[in-house]
Structure 1
Amino acid sequence: MGGDLYALDFDGVLCDSCGESSASALKASRLPYSRLLQSVDSSMESWIIDQMHILRPVVETGYENLLLVRLLVELKAPSARKSSVADGLTVEAILENWMKLKPVIMEEWGEERDSLVDLFGRVRDEWMENDLSGWIGANRFYPGVADALRFASSQLYIVTTKQARFADALLRELAGITIPAERIYGLGTGPKVKVLQQLQAMPQHEGLSLHFVEDRVATLKNVIKEPALDGWNLYLGRWGYNTEREREEAESIPRIQLLDLSDFSKKLK
Structure 2
Amino acid sequence: MGELYALDFDGVICDSCGESSLSALKAAKVRWPVLFDGVDSTIEDWIVDQMHTVRPVVETGYENLLLVRLLLETRTPSIRKSSVGKIPIPHFLSLITMQPRLEGLAVEGILESWSTLKPIIMEEWGENREALIDLFGKVRDEWLEQDFAAWIGANRIYPGVSDALKFASSKVFIVTTKQSRFADALLRELAGVTIPSERIYGLGTGPKVEILKQLQKRPEHQGLTLHFVEDRLATLKNVIKEPELDKWNLYLGNWGYNTAQEKEEAAAIPRIRVLQLSDFSKKLK
- Stretches of structure 1 lacking an aligned partner (at least 5 in a row): none
Range 12-21 or range 83-92, more displaced: 83-92
Question: Given that residues 29 and 66 in structure 1 are in contact (C-alpha distance below 8 angstroms), is that contact kept between their aligned partners in structure 2?
Answer: yes
Question: Given that residues 22 and 65 in structure 1 are in contact (C-alpha distance below 8 angstroms), is that contact kept between their aligned partners in structure 2?
Answer: yes
- The DSSP-based 3-state class of the residue aligned with 1:241 is coil
Question: Given that residues 21 and 65 in structure 1 are in contact (C-alpha distance below 8 angstroms), is that contact kept between their aligned partners in structure 2?
Answer: yes
Q: 1:87 aligns with which of 94, 109, 114?
A: 94
2:202 corresponds to 1:186: yes
**Cross-structure match for 1:119:** 135
Q: How many matched pairs? A: 268
Q: 2:267 aligns with which of 251, 254, 257?
A: 251
Q: How far is the alpha carbon of 1:80 from its aligned partner?
A: 1.6
Is the alpha carbon distance of 1:39 and 1:87 closer, same or farther for their aligned partners in structure 2, counting shifts above 3 Å?
A: farther
Q: Distance in 2 between matches of 1:80 and 1:10?
A: 35
**Cross-structure match for 2:3:** 4
Q: Give the aligned residue type for 1:15.
A: C
**Cross-structure match for 1:69:** 68
**TM-score, normalization: structure 2?**
0.93
Q: Distance in 1 between matches of 2:151 and 2:33?
A: 22
**Cross-structure match for 1:264:** 280
Q: Distance in 2 between matches of 1:37 and 1:222?
A: 37
- What is the CA deviation profile of residues 5-59 of structure 1, one whole-angstrom value per residue up to 9, with x for unaligned ones? 0000000000000000000001001112110011321110111011000000000
**Cross-structure match for 1:33:** 32
Q: How far is the alpha carbon of 1:87 from its aligned partner?
A: 2.8
**Cross-structure match for 1:158:** 174
Q: Higher helix share goes to which structure?
A: 2
**Cross-structure match for 2:18:** 19
Q: How far is the alpha carbon of 1:83 from its aligned partner?
A: 5.9
Is the alpha carbon distance of 1:72 and 1:194 closer, same or farther for their aligned partners in structure 2, counting shifts above 3 Å?
A: same
Q: Give the aligned residue type for 2:135.
A: L
Q: Give the aligned residue type for 1:70.
A: R
- Stretches of structure 2 lacking an aligned partner (at least 5 in a row): 97-105
- What is the CA deviation profile of residues 212-266 of structure 1, one whole-angstrom value per residue up to 9, with x for unaligned ones? 0000000000000000000000000010000000001101110000100000000
Is the alpha carbon distance of 1:87 and 1:181 closer, same or farther for their aligned partners in structure 2, counting shifts above 3 Å?
A: same
- The DSSP-based 3-state class of the residue aligned with 1:161 is coil
**Structure 1 residue ranges (4+ consecutive) displaced by more than 3 angstroms after TM superposition:** none
Q: How far is the alpha carbon of 1:174 from its aligned partner?
A: 1.1
* RMSD over aligned Cα atoms: 0.9
- The DSSP-based 3-state class of the residue aligned with 1:257 is strand
**TM-score, normalization: structure 1?**
0.98
Paired-residue identity, %: 71
- The DSSP-based 3-state class of the residue aligned with 2:95 is coil
Q: Distance in 2 between matches of 1:153 and 1:164?
A: 23
Q: 1:142 aligns with which of 158, 166, 169?
A: 158
